[in-house]
Amino acid sequence: MGHVEVGHLTYVLPDGRPLLDDVSFRIGEGIKAALVGPNGAGKTTLMRLIAGDLEPVEGSVASSGGLGIMRQFIGSIRDGRTLHDLLLSVAPARVRAAAERLHTVELAMMEREDEKTQMRYAQAITDYSDAGGYDIEVLWDTCTVAALGVPYERVKYREVNTLSGGEQKRLVLEALLRGPDQTLLLDEPDNYLDVPGKVWLERALRDTPKTVLLVSHDRQLLANAADRIVTVESGNVWVHGGGFAGYAEARRERNERLDELRRRWDEEHAKLRRLVTMLKQKATYNDGMAPAYHAAQTRLRRFEEAGPPEVAPKDQLISMRLRGGRTAKRAIICEGLELTGLMKPFDLEIWYGERIAVLGSNGSGKSHFLRLLAGEDVRHTGVGRLGARVVPGHFAQTHARPDLLKRTPCEIVMTEHARLRNEAMKALARYELAGGVGDQRFETLSGGQQARLQILLLELSGATLLLLDEPTDNLDLASAEALQEGLDAFDGTVVAVTHDRWFAADFDRFVVFGADGRVYEAPEPVWDESRVVRAR
């Protein structure tokens, strides 16, 4: 069994801004704890501190039972890496080290096969076996069959980027949940999973004896799987000992209590200052009042040194002004459209102003469909075209925007949308991306901040058709609600791929990419489509 303990942790960002201040909490053996809070509050940073990727300014982190880690963007693994590389990246450290030594010797064997190199190779094989490398490959076979329906030997050299985001997540989760590490850090493990996948994850988290600390924005998953809620906001951390069902009420009561404590502190502070001022005046003409005056000064100094109670965090104020514009009545026309190898030909008409939810299992072609409509080069037959005056704006599922790398949100808005700096910052402020965040490079932003920036760029682009690929995956609750309000006011057409059961409820029509390759329309959301695994 494992545990995680964080003691008096303080972390300052590279630009000098404090992010976490004297944070302490403990996740006991077998507990399933969810880490929640606003985008950019420090959830992923805290996970990286626990994982050992970052060093705190002060404080300590302890864990037991071995640490298995799922990063926020496992899909960002560089091109060319294989499923073997992906599975190895979440294996225990001793296996990774032995595999690296074995790989180095194998490369040397390609250049020369003298006796010394052969001896090194034999030793590297022995070390890999002793570290449990061959045993874990047996486990990986179980994982690839469970996640992909294919044995490990048939897919180990397949490139990671040929899997959908959900397939990548499911494979890594299978490896971690079945693996030897007893403490798991899972950063948004449900992102890209379809609803059957999320239901599987909920059940797996409930059933595993391992200790789990996870980041998620899916309220239903939190309600079904988490028995502790750890909140990160305003640089502090507090723990709700119950499940998610009572969390909102607990947070409201806590904030009210903090407000009351601060009010009382302010009143006492003002009272002490008035007392010191009064006694000072009296001591100027009455020496007998000097001791009382000095005692009051001491009391005030100690009171101020102890400091005020924690300030209740402010609610997020995000305003998305998605405008759109009038287009032809038929916004999207599909005639005999087939995405090669993914679906059967289908016809579809989407009318101006409609809200279309595209549903279905992972790997069924939904993201390819949006990319085709966005104008990307996607293999297909048949017709998929846009109506007159339809200007597409595409929100990428994996935030894969190489054009935004090494640039700050402020620079991006200024250069791409001809805004002065103060105008750019004003727009960014509506998305809570101003201040220090506005001058951070895109790749250093949290997943939620990157998502909000993408939505702002859609707003500024003048798009009349929004093609949204899992837009709520990385958004915190306040941001997701702001997006919903923005879409309600949007004068245009919306097509969104989603596995968010709450988000989909507001859509007009539901287009389902079926397990058998058929594309059909349903009167209500369909969440139980399970992709038929075919030989690869």
Q: What does the pLDDT read at residue 342? A: 86
Tokens 């980027």 correspond to what residue? 161
Q: Judging by beta carbons within 10 Å of its beta carbon (0-12, 13-18, 19+), is residue 108 exposed, middle or buried?
A: middle
Pick from 534, 520, 533, 527: nearest CA to 503: 527
What are the phi and psi torsion angles at 163 (to 5°)?
-90, 150
- Name the β-bridge partners of 513: 360, 519
Report in angstroms the alpha-carbon separations of 260 from 18, 163, 234, 264: 26, 52, 18, 6
- In the prediction, which pLDDT does 399 show? 60
CA 247 to each of CA 37, 39, 41, 264, 494: distance values in angstroms, whole numbers, following the listed order: 12, 18, 18, 26, 32
- Let me know: does 219 contact 235? Beta carbons within 8 Å: no
Q: What pLDDT, on the 0 to 100 scale, is given for residue 16?
A: 83
Q: What are the φ and ψ backbone dihedral angles of 355, each rounded to 5 degrees? A: -115, 110
pLDDT of residue 445: 85
Q: Tokens in use for 244?
A: 């998610």
26's CB contacts (< 8 A; 6+ apart) are 3, 4, 5, 6
- pTM of the model as a whole: 0.74
Distance separating the N- and C-terminal Cα atoms of the chain: 38
Q: Where are the beta strands (DSSP E) in 307-373?
A: 330-339, 346-351, 355-360
Distance in angstroms (rounded) separating the CA atoms of residues 61 and 41: 19
Residue 133: name the closest of 141, 125, 143 by CA.
125
* pLDDT in the model for residue 534: 42
Query: Could you read off the pLDDT tens digit of each residue along the chain, which spans 536 residues?
Result: 799 999 999 999 887 888 999 999 999 999 999 999 887 788 989 999 999 999 999 999 999 999 999 987 775 445 578 999 999 999 998 999 999 999 888 888 877 777 888 888 889 899 989 999 999 999 999 999 999 999 999 999 999 888 878 889 999 999 999 999 999 999 989 887 888 888 999 999 999 999 999 999 888 899 899 999 999 998 899 999 988 889 989 998 999 999 999 999 999 999 999 999 999 999 888 888 899 999 999 999 999 999 898 888 877 778 888 888 999 999 999 999 999 888 899 999 999 999 999 998 777 889 999 999 999 999 999 999 999 999 999 998 766 678 888 899 999 999 888 788 899 999 999 988 987 888 899 988 877 889 899 999 999 998 999 999 989 888 887 788 889 999 999 999 999 999 888 889 889 999 999 988 899 999 999 988 765 444 33
Euclidean distance between CA atoms 457 and 449, whole angstroms: 12
**Parallel, antiparallel or unpaired: strands 355-360 and 493-497:** parallel
